Amino acid sequence: MSWRRLVAPFGELDRGALLFYLRAHARPHVAGWTTSAPETALLDRLEVSAPARILDIGCGAGRHTHALAERGYDAVGIDLFERPLTLARRGVAKDFRRLSATNLTEAFDGERFDAAIDVLGPASDLPRHRLARYGEQVRAVLRPGGQWIVFSFLGEAELRPMFAQMRIASADTDATGTWIVAYS
């Protein structure tokens, strides 16, 4: 693999996220890539039933993708980086793809999902000016009425551009971040 191809994904990230992932590539535990327990807050908010098709955006090592697959969901994990995907491919879920969250429509070419999740993924890592594009891409791959659950370090006001033309059902902020549940 060429050096340019290896570092190209980093151009997607804002400066803080870039520094974080540079450290994480040296020490995977820093990014939580070695954590296997899913966020119970995510599972509590998920309203679609198995075998629904769910897209885990910024899946890292696949902790949520695997937890969903174990519960009978058709879970697909995507991440910008190959290193965590290599770890993810060792588990229960088998559909992991390396791709950008701002290029979903081309990558999935007509495939649709019943729900999408983003737990400390692109909604935390993309520069603010790219969040609206990210939201457009997620809406395009969700079925009508599809659920999108996001947990981000950003606040609701900063995340709102992602949810244009969607109905926000709930937005809860605590000391660690913001959970938003929206529907297409």
List CB contacts of 63: < 8 A, sequence separation 6 or more: 32, 35, 36, 37, 38
pLDDT of residue 3: 45
Query: What average pLDDT does the segment 71-89 reach?
Result: 93
The better pLDDT of the pair 161, 37 is held by: 161
pLDDT of residue 81: 84
The better pLDDT of the pair 129, 5 is held by: 129
Q: How far does Cα 75 stand from its chain's mean position?
A: 12
Phi, psi of 135 (to 5 degrees): -60, -40
| DSSP at 39 | P
Look at residues 166, 111, 179 and name the one whose alpha carbon lies nearest to residue 141: 111
Q: Which residue has tokens 């429509």?
A: 105
pLDDT of residue 22: 55
pLDDT of residue 77: 98
Look at residues 46, 59, 145, 70 and name the one whose alpha carbon lies nearest to residue 99: 59
Give the range among 29-38, 85-94, 101-110 with minimum mean pLDDT. Answer: 29-38
The CA radius of gyration of the chain, in Å to the nearest whole number, is 15
